[in-house]
Copies of this chain bind each other. A is one copy, B any other.
Amino acid sequence: MLDKDYTFQLKFQVRDYECDMQGVVNHSVYQNYLEHTRHEYLKSVGLDFVRMNEEGIIPHVVRVEIDYKLPLISGDEFISCLNVQLESKIRIVFYQDIYRLSDEKLVTKGVVTGVCLVNGRPRLPESIADLLKK
């Protein structure tokens, strides 16, 4: 993992089916990487995405910003890094940076905002907020 100040880091490797006709990872695929990183982070603090949904706590993304700095290509390994911040009583903001492993250069910079719906209304249960604050 990288010697950088993040709450959570996850290593990936590009798979060829993720590359498009330009020979680089299609820009939409980074959202898959970011989502998987968030879900693994949630698991690491004790929150299971599937179970939350079953319990009627429906987390979903309301805004995504991604800056694409460098393309990833076939075979590239990379580290997906995450910090999290509660930015109001209901908004969770994930700061998600991806670095190419070979030279630790920044590949993409993402800011993803999520909210939870509980019984159809935006609400962040305190038990969840506590786990994210650690």
A 74-117 binary contact with B (CB < 8 Å = 1; else 0): 11000000000000000000000000000000000000000000
Interface of A (DSSP majority class)? mixed
Q: Is the CB of A36 within 8 A of B16?
A: yes
Interface string of A43-55 (1 = CB under 8 A from B): 1000011100100
Interface residue? A132 (CB, 8 A)? no
Whether the Cβ atoms of A68 and B62 lie closer than 8 Å is yes
- Judged by a CB distance under 8 angstroms, whether A4 is at the interface is no
* A65 CB contacts on chain B under 8 angstroms: 63-65
Report the separation of the CA atoms of residues A36 and B71 in the bound assembly, to the nearest whole angstrom: 20
Q: Residue A129 at the B interface, CB < 8 A?
A: no
On whether the beta carbons of A20 and B31 are closer than 8 Å, the reply is no
Within 8 A of B (CB), among A17-74: 17, 19-24, 26-29, 31-32, 35-36, 39, 43, 48-50, 53, 58, 60-68, 71, 73-74
Instruction: State the A residues within 8 Å of B (CB).
Output: 15-17, 19-24, 26-29, 31-32, 35-36, 39, 43, 48-50, 53, 58, 60-68, 71, 73-75
